[in-house]
Amino acid sequence: MKTIPYEELDELAKKALAAAEAAMEQAYNPYSHFYVGAALFTENSTIIPGTNYESATYTSICAERTAIVSANTMGIRRFQGIAIIARGESYATTEVTTPCGSCRQMLYEVAQLSGTDLAVILSTTHKDKIVLTTIKELLPLGFGPADLQIDLQRYK
């Protein structure tokens, strides 16, 4: 895990972060008033954004998972990384927001399906703090389809 200035991100990471930021503004969050945007990106520069969506039962679908499900619907299952940005309704975040446990598990699954340790780019609202990490750092000793000896070839 390391912190870098925004300017040191490569162009694909910057585009993914911009897509995550745009998605963040579409959050449906009448209960938490917390906006989260995420954007998965592939090696060939395909970017799939997602945002959080809440319901009156006080359950929510996180931005990371909406991006994963959207990508799956499009038949895209192999990724290089994900960018994540968040803010409150009336305040900017001063620290990065990390994926919740459920999202970490699904991102771990995406990483195993992709055959890579998925890059995770975390950003504050003003992009004044960028943390680069991986899903294996965020979910050490994770459990995924490879542990069940699932043949993932048919899903790639």
3 three-state secondary structure: strand
* pTM metric for this prediction: 0.95
Mean pLDDT of all residues in the chain? 95
**Which residues, listed in sequence order, are joined to residue 3 by a DSSP beta bridge?**
131
Predicted confidence (pLDDT) per residue in 26-84, tens digit: 999 999 999 999 999 998 999 999 999 999 999 999 999 999 999 999 999 999 999 99
| Cα–Cα distance, 43 to 143 (Å, whole number) | 24
Digit-coded pLDDT (tens) for 102-111 = 999 999 999 9
Q: How far is the C-alpha of 140 from the C-alpha of 126, rounded, in Å?
A: 29
Q: What is the DSSP letter of 31?
A: T
Q: Where are the alpha helices (DSSP H) in 5-97?
A: 11-24, 63-73
Q: Which of 64, 95, 109, 137 is catalytic?
A: 64
Nearest to 78 by CA among 49, 114, 48, 127: 114
Of 104, 121, 98, the closest CA to residue 36 belongs to 98
19: Cβ contacts below 8 Å, ≥ 6 apart: 37, 39, 47, 49, 83
Catalytic, 64? Answer: yes
With tokens 């990724």, the residue in question is: 79
Residue with tokens 């300017």: 7
Which residue(s) pair with 121 in the sheet?
83, 132
Domains defined for the chain, CATH in brackets: 2-155 (3.40.140.10)
